[in-house]
Structure 1
Amino acid sequence: MALQIMKLAITASSTVDTVPTVERFFNEAASTVTGPGTLTIAVEDFFTDTGATATTLPALATNNSYFDVYINGVLQMEDVSAYTAGGTGVGQLVITVPAGSTIEQNSPVVLVVTNFAPTSNTTIVT
């Protein structure tokens, strides 16, 4: 008999669901910020999708989340924003305005927080 590799006769199928939770928060810049400068927006200065005052900014799930910041409808670079989750008096978004840049008064600032709670299921048939 010739040499051969022996292996198990197994089939497997997997399903993965990403299960995203997206929360959006809205603000209008209260005043013009010319760089270098900083715009700090406290949680209670944001509004939710329903128009209610925000009371908490969600925690970011470790390795399964991200946040985006839009100013006047334009997605901003990651390193100009710092996000702190938490409730009233704690949660905030800090935007560092570089030299030569300006955020005009009443410019819309949109914070989008996305957390994932993935699930997976594998079925093995022997």
Structure 2
Amino acid sequence: MALQLMKLLITASTTTNVVPSPQKFFYVTAAETAAGSTLTVDAASFFQDDGAAATALPALTSSNSYFNVYINGVLQQQGNSTYTPGATTIGSLAFAVPAGGSPILQNTSVVLEVVNYAPASTTTVAT
């Protein structure tokens, strides 16, 4: 019998599920923030979706997360915001009100939305 080349037949398929984990935090301004100033909100000043006081702002997962800031229901440009995760006195949101613009008035709603993704993959190999 002649020699033969023996090959393995292997197939594989991968399924990836990307599951978002959104969290929303709410704040109502206590005073006016003038144009050219920065509104800084400590983690403990926010309240959560269920109305409970927030104790910490979540960490952003590297390359799998983002945050949005809404002021008076309007999505704001990312470059005006600085987000720092963590507990009270560490965690905060700082929003730089553009100079020459309108101030943020007292009793204005501020919504912080933090979305982290938790991708999970499974691979099935058949021989």
The alignment's TM-score, normalised by the length of structure 1, stands at 0.88
Aligned positions of 1:14-53 closer than 5 A: 14-53=14-53
Code of the aligned partner of 1:93: L
SS of the residue corresponding to residue 49 of structure 2 reads coil
- More displaced 10-residue stretch of structure 1: 12-21 or 84-93: 12-21
Q: Are 2:11 and 1:11 equivalent residues in the alignment?
A: yes
Q: Distance in 1 between matches of 2:13 and 2:76?
A: 40
Code of the aligned partner of 1:125: A
SS of the residue corresponding to residue 19 of structure 1 reads strand
- % identical aligned pairs: 53
Q: Which residue of 1 aligns with 2:114?
A: 113
Q: Following TM superposition, by how much is the alpha carbon of 1:11 offset from its aligned partner in structure 2, in angstroms?
A: 3.3
Q: Following TM superposition, by how much is the alpha carbon of 1:8 offset from its aligned partner in structure 2, in angstroms?
A: 6.8
Q: Which residue of 2 aligns with 1:94?
A: 94
Structure 1 residues 99-126: Cα deviation after superposition (integer angstroms, max 9, x where no partner): 1232111111000111112111121323
Unmatched segments (≥5 aa) in structure 1: 1-6
Give the paired residue count.
120
Q: Are 2:56 and 1:56 equivalent residues in the alignment?
A: yes
Code of the aligned partner of 1:62: S
Q: Following TM superposition, by how much is the alpha carbon of 1:83 offset from its aligned partner in structure 2, in angstroms?
A: 0.4
Over 3 Å off, 4+ runs: 7-11
Q: Following TM superposition, by how much is the alpha carbon of 1:13 offset from its aligned partner in structure 2, in angstroms?
A: 2.1
Q: Distance in 2 between matches of 1:84 and 1:8?
A: 52
The alignment's TM-score, normalised by the length of structure 2, stands at 0.87
Unmatched segments (≥5 aa) in structure 2: 1-6
Q: Which residue of 2 aligns with 1:104?
A: 105
Q: Distance in 2 between matches of 1:43 and 1:59?
A: 12
Q: Distance in 2 between matches of 1:102 and 1:125?
A: 62
Q: Distance in 2 between matches of 1:124 and 1:102?
A: 59
Q: Which residue of 2 aligns with 1:76?
A: 76
Per the alignment, do residues 32 and 124 of structure 1 end up closer, same or farther by CA in structure 2, a change over 3 Å counting?
same
SS of the residue corresponding to residue 30 of structure 2 reads coil
